[in-house]
Amino acid sequence: MNHPKFASVSAAAVSVSFLALSCALDLRAQQTGGSTPPDAETQKCEALMQLNLEDVPGGPALITSARLVGVPTSGLDQWPPTTSGYGRTGAPIATTIRRYCDVTGYASPQNKFELKLPSSSDWNQNFFFRACGGFCGYVEGRLCNPILARGYAAVTGNGGHDSALGFDGIWAANAPELQEDFGWRSNHVVILIAKAITTHYYNKPIRHSYMAGNSKGGQAVLLEAQRFPEDFDGLMPSAPVYDYTGRSVIAAAWFAQAISDGHGGSVLNSAAAQAVHRSVLQHCGAQAGIEEGLVTDPPSCTWQPEMIACPLANSSSDCLNEAQIVAVKRLMTPATNSKGEVLYAYPYFPGTETEWEGWNYFGLPRPGYPRRFANMDLPGQYLKYLADEKIRERGDALSFDFDRDPMTLARARRVYDATSVDLRAYKARDGKIVMWHGWADGGIVATSSIGYYEGVMKFMGGRKRTEEFFRLFLVPGVHHGGGGPGLTEFDALNVLEDWVEKGQAPEKLIACRSSNGVAERCRPVFPYPVLARYSGKGDPKQADSFVPVDPSSHYVLWRIGYGQDPSNHYLQRSHSFPDCPSGSDKRRPASPAIQHCRRYNDDCI
């Protein structure tokens, strides 16, 4: 029953609410200049909310938001600001794009995505997918911005789950479907859904499709070529952790055991890494024929940690103590079992020490990321939550047994690894791959990309046949995906576009280092195995002062236990030295990074 008192109060409240609403509408009308309806582009974008994606390939899927977004006159944000491969680094990104339709949604069960669609007049009729990295678990729309700025319809995804930034594996606990999505399925279904939205939005077919990603994202790019060759015309993997299980568990455990101080920390620190770097540059900082302050060909650098051993009973920031020497030697040695069989063939090498922080000793915290010690953290998270369908009760970096535990990872390798070198289907559909890796990468060392590329060359019938569709570029001084002391600015996407759309195979990248937006120095980076050497003429800070040198006639590839997994081999290149005298089979000891290799020419005694 309604009481008269409450009825009068209710009527008064309705009157006040109506008055407030009328005022708000009047104010909005004044702000918008009257009741002008949304423009056609806004209506077109918002109409995507009605698009039914339940029965499309990759579905069921649902769009959760669609809104038109204006681009600031300053440009688009770049995340992270050190990203290499798209031209100039840093933020903001200059663009002529003024507005775009920002679309978010998900494909069953938890494959979230963000798609950015430029205005119809700005669209270049191309599609681009940028894969997430690490353990994924986030949708970072700013990853699309370097591509959106060029007029692409650009999309990224969360890898099939939500989780904390960093190496958080709890999302995978007892969740085999999420594990499969993360390992191989998520990107493919998001790609199918995003393409369907794109063609609907523009009412035009997509002309060319591209994909890029770094680290785990690089693994995802290679996996597309291996499993879903029809998805993309051009692929740009960088620093791909294609042997995801081997690097995340076996290698990480090997490195962690090498540097452990027995108390949860590392015997290495920033001072030790800096001491190593100073010494490395003294020995290997002029490999291209001119002093550059960079290690430009690390496999030929024979630096060893004993070179900066501290005097007895004395230590300083300029030398390594005994424990640190032992640690660095093991970091630079392949992971093996007790029989000496190589389990992971890509150890650290001189030049990577500028990125040991956060991998081989605790790094400083970053916004959104915990303070991390990745090689110590990775094996525990991976073994406990990702390796099996159910939680594995035991397993961490320091207890990992290199004789027994690798045999327990067969299921994980099936789900997460992208080690196949059979790219025949991708080549047959005229796909193109430009892969790049920074020589100073402290997360996944660049020789692992050499290993994969060599495996592809062997399978595909040699270098010439491989270079018809796939080329590798190794960039001096660049860290894991960008940043570092070297030549961090280069446009690998542009050369990939020219290859796909114009048939112009990439003969080189021009990599530069800038200060305040001005290039301080540049040099060419030629497709592997060709090296850049200073010509002896001209300004060594200018790219045209360098010439290509092909050392391919002077190296031999020695494979160790090479089977189906291309991580089980390693390349060590020699240079223009005379062959060993007839009958000589004695060789100098190799550096710690290449103890399992044998030089062909330049180690003769």
Q: pLDDT at position 166, please?
A: 79
Query: What values do phi and psi take at 35, rounded to 5?
Result: -95, 45
Q: Residue 144 falls within a domain, yes or no?
A: yes
Q: Residue 562 falls within a domain, yes or no?
A: no
On whether both 200 and 257 belong to a single domain, the answer is no
| Cα separation, 37 vs 505, whole angstroms | 49
On whether both 181 and 75 belong to a single domain, the answer is yes
Q: Does position 87 have pLDDT exceeding 70, yes or no?
A: yes
Q: Residue 424 falls within a domain, yes or no?
A: no
Q: Which residues contact 39 (CB under 8 A, 6 or more apart)?
A: none
Q: Could you tell me what percent of the chain has a pLDDT over 70?
A: 84
Q: Which residues contact 290 (CB under 8 A, 6 or more apart)?
A: 534, 540
| Cα separation, 426 vs 33, whole angstroms | 55
Q: pLDDT at position 38, please?
A: 80
pLDDT band for 82, please (50, 70, 90 cuts): confident
Q: Which of 378, 396, 415 is the last residue of a domain?
A: 415
| Cα separation, 463 vs 149, whole angstroms | 35
Nearest Cα residue to 305 out of 292, 291, 320: 320
On whether both 198 and 253 belong to a single domain, the answer is no
Range name among 12-21, 198-207, 218-227 with the lowest pLDDT average: 12-21
In the predicted model, what is the mean pLDDT of residues 444-453?
Answer: 98
Q: Does position 498 have pLDDT exceeding 80, yes or no?
A: yes
Q: Which of 398, 415, 432 is the last residue of a domain?
A: 415
On whether both 398 and 318 belong to a single domain, the answer is yes
Q: Tokens at residue 272, please?
A: 């030790």
**Do 110 and 119 contact (CB within 8 A), yes or no?**
no
* Ramachandran class of 515: left when φ > 0, alpha when ψ lies in -120 to 50, beta otherwise: beta
Q: pLDDT at position 313, please?
A: 66
Count of domains observed in the chain: 2
| Cα separation, 55 vs 35, whole angstroms | 38
In the predicted model, what is the mean pLDDT of residues 310-329?
Answer: 89
Q: Residue 570 falls within a domain, yes or no?
A: no
Q: pLDDT at position 575, please?
A: 34
Q: Residue 369 falls within a domain, yes or no?
A: yes
**Cα angle 357-217-475, degrees, rounded to a multiple of 5:** 60
Q: pLDDT at position 13, please?
A: 40
Name the DSSP letter for residue 369. Answer: B
On whether both 151 and 253 belong to a single domain, the answer is no
Dihedral sign (CA 282, 288, 291, 293): negative
Name the DSSP letter for residue 249. Answer: I
Task: Reduce the DSSP state of residue 487 to 3 states and report it.
Answer: coil
On whether both 191 and 260 belong to a single domain, the answer is no
Q: Residue 123 falls within a domain, yes or no?
A: yes
**What is the domain extent for residue 138?**
40-206
Q: Which of 353, 386, 415 is the last residue of a domain?
A: 415
pLDDT (tens digit, 9 = 90+) per residue, 531-546? 999 999 999 999 999 9
On whether both 136 and 48 belong to a single domain, the answer is yes
pLDDT (tens digit, 9 = 90+) per residue, 179-194? 999 999 999 999 999 9
pLDDT band for 369, please (50, 70, 90 cuts): low
On whether both 131 and 256 belong to a single domain, the answer is no
Q: Does position 567 have pLDDT exceeding 70, yes or no?
A: no
On whether both 311 and 365 belong to a single domain, the answer is yes
| Cα separation, 115 vs 193, whole angstroms | 10
For tokens 């030049």, the residue is 351
pLDDT (tens digit, 9 = 90+) per residue, 394-423? 999 999 999 999 999 999 999 999 999 999
Q: Does position 236 have pLDDT exceeding 80, yes or no?
A: yes
Q: pLDDT at position 322, please?
A: 95
| Cα separation, 398 vs 404, whole angstroms | 14
pLDDT (tens digit, 9 = 90+) per residue, 264-288? 999 999 999 999 999 999 999 999 9
CA distances (Å), 298 to each of 70, 132, 286, 352, 444, in order?
Answer: 46, 28, 11, 9, 14
On whether both 394 and 333 belong to a single domain, the answer is yes
| Cα separation, 44 vs 66, whole angstroms | 10
Look up the pTM and report it. Answer: 0.87
On whether both 268 and 341 belong to a single domain, the answer is yes
Q: pLDDT at position 317, please?
A: 80
Strands 61-70 and 86-87 come out as: unpaired
Of 449 and 557, the one with more pLDDT: 449
Task: Reduce the DSSP state of residue 164 to 3 states and report it.
Answer: coil
**Do 574 and 549 contact (CB within 8 A), yes or no?**
no
pLDDT (tens digit, 9 = 90+) per residue, 152-175? 999 999 999 999 877 999 999 999
In the predicted model, what is the mean pLDDT of residues 475-491?
Answer: 97
Q: pLDDT at position 430, please?
A: 98
On whether both 298 and 386 belong to a single domain, the answer is yes
Q: Residue 506 falls within a domain, yes or no?
A: no
Q: Residue 484 falls within a domain, yes or no?
A: no
